[in-house]
Chain A
Amino acid sequence: MHFVAIVGTNAKLSYNRILLRFIKDHFSDKATVDICEIKDIPMFNENVPKNDPEAVQKIAAKIESSDGVIIGCPEHNHSVPSPLKSVIEWLSYRVHPLNDKPVMIVGASYHPQGSSRAQLHLRQILDTPGVNAKVLPGNEFLLGNVKEAFDDNGVIKDQQTIKFLEDCFNEFLNFVEIHQNASATKKGTQHENGGVRWDKAYDVLVLGFGAAGATAARFAADKGAKVLLVDAAPEGHEGGNTRYAGQVVLTGYDYDKMLAYFKQLFGPIEIDEKVLSTYVDGIVHMREYFQNYLGVEHPVSYNKTHRDPDYQAFANGLSPEYPEFEGADTVDLTTVHDGYFDAALWKNLRKQVTDRSNQVDVWFASPAKHLVQDPITKAVLGAQIQRGDSLVNIRARNGVVLATGGFENNQQYIQNFIGVPKLKVIGTLYNKGDGIQMAQEAGAALWHMKSYEGYGFNTSFTFENSEEERGKFILDPWPELSQGSIFVAADDGSRYLREDEQGRHGHAYEHGSWHNPTVYEHPHLVFDEAQCNKIKSRKLPYPKFFEITVKAENLDELATKIHADPLVLEKTLKDFNEAARTGTDAAFGRSAESMKPLTTTGPFYATPLATAMLNTQGGAQRNERAEVVSATGTSIPHLYSAGEFGGINANQYNGGGNLAECLIFGKIAGENAALPKADIAKATFEDDEKTATADFAIASDLQPSSTEIKLEKNQYLGRSNAGIGGELLVRVTIDEQQKLRDVEILKQSESGDVSAEALKRIPQEMVTRNTYEVDAVSGASATSRALKAAVKDALSQIKTENQK
């Protein structure tokens, strides 16, 4: 056992510290005790921005990894000392390491009562919902008259007292052990015999409800599978990056040309031939895909409709994005209708799922946490999903599809994998790279981790504005930011790119191929008064432009304000002006007509920039069957993936390629995951027949909207929000005598066994007794109330109808 012992005071001399040291020594054969001081932990303050102080993080980590905590608690004014209280406040604010942690309280004081009031109070505090520690009951070790209690070596003098402490400590060891066993069966998937306790079983489990997940779920259902589709985001926020996308899908007409085009795009990066040819084949059949599977009779071809240099700058640049490459003339984009950035494709894909709601259950706000793998065969058997506060084990008989998108919102992954300080996210906030961790746990190989797409003005920019969680997507041309007396300065004030570059998904031309430019920490647009007026003269595509722009009377002052080196900035300006005068930008090749010298007298302006990122491409490696490949090159049984999580796009990128990948590999992943598997016999898990149909209370979150529900003449819908799981929807059937014939529950998200009981019993009773006024099921009063209210609501419609 390993315990953390907290000295509950910041004072230099503390008998509680002496007591904890005694415990550490005396019980060294039973447990290791790490004595933690709290004097470096500052006073709790809820306004501390973003991260907890380092000392708090440290102690939290120690507690997290311990088996239990011992607190030595002095008493100040009949209560817990403020330094200790402050520590607990930190530990119940952003992090909650004490949650469910066994805690033992000891205390020493000068008085005979020995901190009894403080201990009592500490128990109460540790018991609050935000802390939720498991405090050892009884065993109150109160050491009074403490000045007399220890000898010079810090050993307790009285043998009886030592004996009592031993009793208490042994009780604590037992308590911790029981607690650990209990929580292992509660949380753990593993039974003693190696089997797993499943909460519910499906044929296919799809993680992530974006384009890839929606597609996989739908095609799995079409193969006859019963599917659970989960998304981390709450309802209305699902759809990941897909909902934010331009909705254009890469398309081609000639296989050989398209293949040649892609080989140049990926360039020296080798992609498995089979994966590539599967992808290219899908792309050249994209129009049929829209017609056959998405119900779009006349898919819109971008080139046929709009190939006109003046029409729409956005898509013109993408179709093709690399016109100089061989085969580029076959590149086109397909959309479901003539419109962009309107979620039209997303809505279509979502509807494919809701149209199959009899076969696909959907859970929102339910992030997948871990895959469950057979220890011997390595087959993925299912996954642990977080549902509210609990983890539920979902069995997937035939396969699991990872479609959790990229790691756009995981700063640590961005630094580790891409190797840049930061990128500004433009799309969803829910893609945190969870799939990477799950894939790694299952032994997957990773690929294309460094690759990401950007989009923005002057190659790849948006604005840095700490008040905005998401960067603003600047799509329309904004010539004033790259034409005239204006340039982009890196951290030290020097230029590093050609401002008038037509970026290709955030890539810039460098020595023969296109790359993401270096990402600096605080680049700025730098410009003078005349340019400022030019920018002002037009409606701003980013209204907060001048709110974040800083002004300085001279260049020195500007350099200080943007943390650049004044000498470097001065030289940059001089060089730029020289380039503008001579019409040659020797360093970066900016065009002569786009450069105009800046004034040298000021005032000057600077606007903070950030690199705009649409999506990452990295994730688990997949093969042409959409199977996830293990680090040793074999495929991991029953695990599939699709979409930007581990995409094929490793290098230079043509717009529309990501959504194409979602559609193509989503279909393959869904269909293959749905195939019944022969190899599961080896796996050890409980018979899932029983669990498969159980758990009435775990239902789909999909909202059947009233228009989708069929109502006969004698049927009425009723709703109520009185339950604990949001809306409850019922369909009530009455006979000619207006007697209640049937009460069906169409939608509910109540949880727990008692609720399930109420949902079963109450409708029956209502019908038997022909009234909604029936007794509540005890322990499920909210659910009972909601049912009554919903049925009442339905019946009230009969009345109003009769009045008419």
Chain B
Amino acid sequence: MVKRLKFIAIVGTNASFSFNRLLLNYMQERYRDLAEIEVQEIKDIPLFNEDMMSSPPKCVLELIDKVTEADGVIFATPEYDHAVPAALKSVLEWLSSVAHPLLHKPVMIVGGSYGVQGTVRAQINLRQILDAPGVMADILPANEFMLGTVKDKLDKEGITHEKTAEFLDQCFGNYISFVKDHIMCQAKLLTKEEV
């Protein structure tokens, strides 16, 4: 029997209202037959401080465990000052210092913003960060899901714009294949080593 895929979906902000949270909730619901998506908040995770690395906060350790166990991680990022919010950057710093659970973890990036650009700059920034040696995640190439003018396309019920929903389906489909390939490769690597 094939194991059901399990993803951690990180809400990239500590704000109490976020369209990116709505977006992840929507994905969780829409793709429930394809995978189990757990929406993860970051508002309780403190600002990264390297002096705390010897005794990291419990919530950081819990997050590290969750990411380690997951088959993949989905990031939904807003854009602050043309970059990822400090709150999200801080989480990535924790996840690349205390331990390195994102190492070779398949990652998908999505984001929504009020403007037409739909977080393009923040997503580029996030890719760059995830690509840094201390993080080294495996990022799904292309499939740039950037939801501009988010207010008109997304509400509590989910994506209201049909074409956008279709594109997300396509991106998520690609991500699933990416993750599956990845798992297979890992398995092959293992067998090789065992041999």
A residues neighboring B (CB under 8 Å): 9-12, 39, 42-47, 76-83, 85-86, 88-89, 92, 117, 121, 124-125, 127-128, 130-131
The 19 listed contacts between A and B (C-beta, < 8 Å) are A43-B14, A43-B46, A44-B85, A45-B15, A76-B93, A77-B129, A77-B134, A79-B128, A80-B83, A82-B86, A83-B47, A83-B86, A85-B85, A86-B47, A89-B86, A124-B82, A125-B81, A125-B82, A128-B81
B181 on the A face (CB < 8 A)? no
* A82 touching B132 in the complex, CB below 8 Å, given contacts A43-B86, A45-B87, A121-B83: no
Residue of A43, A79, A117, A128 near B87 (CB, 8 A) is A43
B50 on the A face (CB < 8 A)? yes
B residues neighboring A (CB under 8 Å): 14-16, 43, 46-51, 80-87, 89-90, 92-93, 96, 121, 125, 128-129, 131-132, 134-135
Residue of A42, A45, A47, A79 near B89 (CB, 8 A) is A79
Residue of A42, A78, A89 near B131 (CB, 8 A) is A78
- Taking the closest CB of chain A, its distance from the CB of B45, in whole angstroms, is 9
Q: Is the pair B16, A82 in contact by a Cβ cutoff of 8 Å?
A: no
A130–B15 alpha-carbon span in the complex (Å): 18
Q: Is the pair A42, B81 in contact by a Cβ cutoff of 8 Å?
A: no
A89–B85 alpha-carbon span in the complex (Å): 8
Q: Is the pair B48, A83 in contact by a Cβ cutoff of 8 Å?
A: yes
Q: Which 3 A-B pairs have the closest CB atoms?
A: A86-B86, A82-B90, A82-B89
- Taking the closest CB of chain B, its distance from the CB of A405, in whole angstroms, is 34
Residue of A12, A43, A117, A124 near B51 (CB, 8 A) is A12
Contacts of B51 in A (CB 8 A): 10-12
Q: Is the pair A78, B14 in contact by a Cβ cutoff of 8 Å?
A: no
Q: Is the pair A44, B128 in contact by a Cβ cutoff of 8 Å?
A: no
* A10 touching B128 in the complex, CB below 8 Å, given contacts A43-B90, A86-B90, A125-B82: no
Residue of B49, B81, B132 near A79 (CB, 8 A) is B132
- Taking the closest CB of chain A, its distance from the CB of B153, in whole angstroms, is 21
Contacts of A130 in B (CB 8 A): 81
A127–B49 alpha-carbon span in the complex (Å): 26
Contacts of A85 in B (CB 8 A): 80-81, 83-86, 89
Contacts of B92 in A (CB 8 A): 77, 82
Q: Give the A-B pair count, Cβ closer than 8 A.
A: 101
Residue of A10, A121, A125 near B47 (CB, 8 A) is A10
Contacts of A10 in B (CB 8 A): 47-49, 51
Q: Is the pair A11, B14 in contact by a Cβ cutoff of 8 Å?
A: no
Contacts of A131 in B (CB 8 A): 81
- Taking the closest CB of chain B, its distance from the CB of A118, in whole angstroms, is 10
Contacts of B86 in A (CB 8 A): 43-44, 82-83, 85-86, 88-89
Contacts of B125 in A (CB 8 A): 79, 121
Chain B residue at minimal CB-CB distance from A83: B47
Residue of B15, B82, B129 near A47 (CB, 8 A) is B15
Contacts of A39 in B (CB 8 A): 49
A293–B90 alpha-carbon span in the complex (Å): 67
Majority-rule SS of A interface residues:
loop
Contacts of A80 in B (CB 8 A): 83, 89
- Taking the closest CB of chain A, its distance from the CB of B145, in whole angstroms, is 21
Contacts of A78 in B (CB 8 A): 128-129, 131-132
Contacts of B132 in A (CB 8 A): 77-79
A78–B132 alpha-carbon span in the complex (Å): 6
Q: Is the pair B16, A47 in contact by a Cβ cutoff of 8 Å?
A: yes
Contacts of A45 in B (CB 8 A): 14-15, 43, 87
A39–B43 alpha-carbon span in the complex (Å): 18
A83–B119 alpha-carbon span in the complex (Å): 21
A86–B134 alpha-carbon span in the complex (Å): 21
Q: Is the pair A128, B93 in contact by a Cβ cutoff of 8 Å?
A: no
A2–B14 alpha-carbon span in the complex (Å): 35
A685–B19 alpha-carbon span in the complex (Å): 54
Q: Is the pair A43, B47 in contact by a Cβ cutoff of 8 Å?
A: yes
Among A79, A82, A128, chain B packs the most CB atoms within 10 A around the CB of A82
- Taking the closest CB of chain B, its distance from the CB of A517, in whole angstroms, is 39
Contacts of A43 in B (CB 8 A): 14, 46-47, 86-87, 90
Among B47, B92, B93, chain A packs the most CB atoms within 10 A around the CB of B47
Q: Is the pair B81, A82 in contact by a Cβ cutoff of 8 Å?
A: no
Q: Is the pair B134, A88 in contact by a Cβ cutoff of 8 Å?
A: no
Contacts of A82 in B (CB 8 A): 47-48, 86-87, 89-90, 92-93
A49–B10 alpha-carbon span in the complex (Å): 25
- Taking the closest CB of chain A, its distance from the CB of B78, in whole angstroms, is 10
A47–B14 alpha-carbon span in the complex (Å): 9
Chain A residue at minimal CB-CB distance from B90: A82
A9–B90 alpha-carbon span in the complex (Å): 12
Q: Is the pair B80, A11 in contact by a Cβ cutoff of 8 Å?
A: no
Contacts of B85 in A (CB 8 A): 44, 85, 89
A81–B48 alpha-carbon span in the complex (Å): 9
A46–B83 alpha-carbon span in the complex (Å): 16
Contacts of B46 in A (CB 8 A): 43
- Taking the closest CB of chain B, its distance from the CB of A91, in whole angstroms, is 9
Chain B residue at minimal CB-CB distance from A38: B47
Inter-chain pairs besides A11-B51, A43-B90, A83-B48, 11 sampled, C-beta below 8 Å = A43-B46, A44-B14, A47-B16, A77-B92, A82-B47, A82-B86, A85-B80, A89-B80, A89-B81, A124-B83, A125-B82
- Taking the closest CB of chain A, its distance from the CB of B122, in whole angstroms, is 11
Contacts of A81 in B (CB 8 A): 48, 89, 93
Residue of B15, B50, B134 near A11 (CB, 8 A) is B50
Among A79, A89, A124, chain B packs the most CB atoms within 10 A around the CB of A79
Among B49, B81, B84, B134, chain A packs the most CB atoms within 10 A around the CB of B81
- Taking the closest CB of chain A, its distance from the CB of B148, in whole angstroms, is 17
* A11 touching B90 in the complex, CB below 8 Å, given contacts A89-B80, A124-B83: no
Residue of B47, B84, B129 near A42 (CB, 8 A) is B47
Chain B residue at minimal CB-CB distance from A117: B128
Chain B residue at minimal CB-CB distance from A41: B47
Contacts of B87 in A (CB 8 A): 43-45, 82, 86
Contacts of A42 in B (CB 8 A): 47
A45–B88 alpha-carbon span in the complex (Å): 12
A10–B132 alpha-carbon span in the complex (Å): 21
Q: Is the pair B135, A77 in contact by a Cβ cutoff of 8 Å?
A: yes
Chain B residue at minimal CB-CB distance from A43: B47
- Taking the closest CB of chain A, its distance from the CB of B156, in whole angstroms, is 19
Chain B residue at minimal CB-CB distance from A122: B83
A82–B50 alpha-carbon span in the complex (Å): 11
Contacts of B96 in A (CB 8 A): 77
Among A39, A117, A124, chain B packs the most CB atoms within 10 A around the CB of A124
Among A86, A92, A121, A127, chain B packs the most CB atoms within 10 A around the CB of A86
- Taking the closest CB of chain B, its distance from the CB of A542, in whole angstroms, is 29
A121–B132 alpha-carbon span in the complex (Å): 14
- Taking the closest CB of chain B, its distance from the CB of A310, in whole angstroms, is 52
- Taking the closest CB of chain A, its distance from the CB of B99, in whole angstroms, is 14
Contacts of A92 in B (CB 8 A): 81
- Taking the closest CB of chain A, its distance from the CB of B39, in whole angstroms, is 19
Chain A residue at minimal CB-CB distance from B49: A10
A125–B80 alpha-carbon span in the complex (Å): 9
Q: Is the pair A46, B15 in contact by a Cβ cutoff of 8 Å?
A: yes
A131–B83 alpha-carbon span in the complex (Å): 12
Contacts of A89 in B (CB 8 A): 80-81, 85-86
